Amino acid sequence: MVLLLGLAGAISGAVLKIRSIEVLSVVSALLCGMVAILVDGPAQILTIGVLGLCALLIPGIILQAKNGK
């Protein structure tokens, strides 16, 4: 699941044509994936939540700002 969130963020970066979002989404997915393997229980949920914030919410805000709505 963590890798799919990172992939979704990378695709968002590709659609927006912002290379930094693409790279940071992949890096955050890899880091959060490693952390999710090392921790148990509620910390895994928190890790996935942080990844979702970084990989999906921030590109969404940028996309909304570009559309001017």
Number of domains in the chain: 1
pLDDT attached to residue 5: 77
Give the orientation angle of helix 2-16 with respect to helix 58-67, to 10 degrees: 20
Show pLDDT as tens, one digit a residue, over the chain (69 residues).
777 877 888 888 888 888 888 888 788 778 877 887 888 888 888 878 887 787 778 777 877 887 776
Q: CA-to-CA distance for 49 and 29, rounded, in angstroms?
A: 11
Coil, helix or strand for 17? coil
For residue 68, give both structure tokens.
């001017």
Give the residue numbers spanning the domain of 39.
2-67
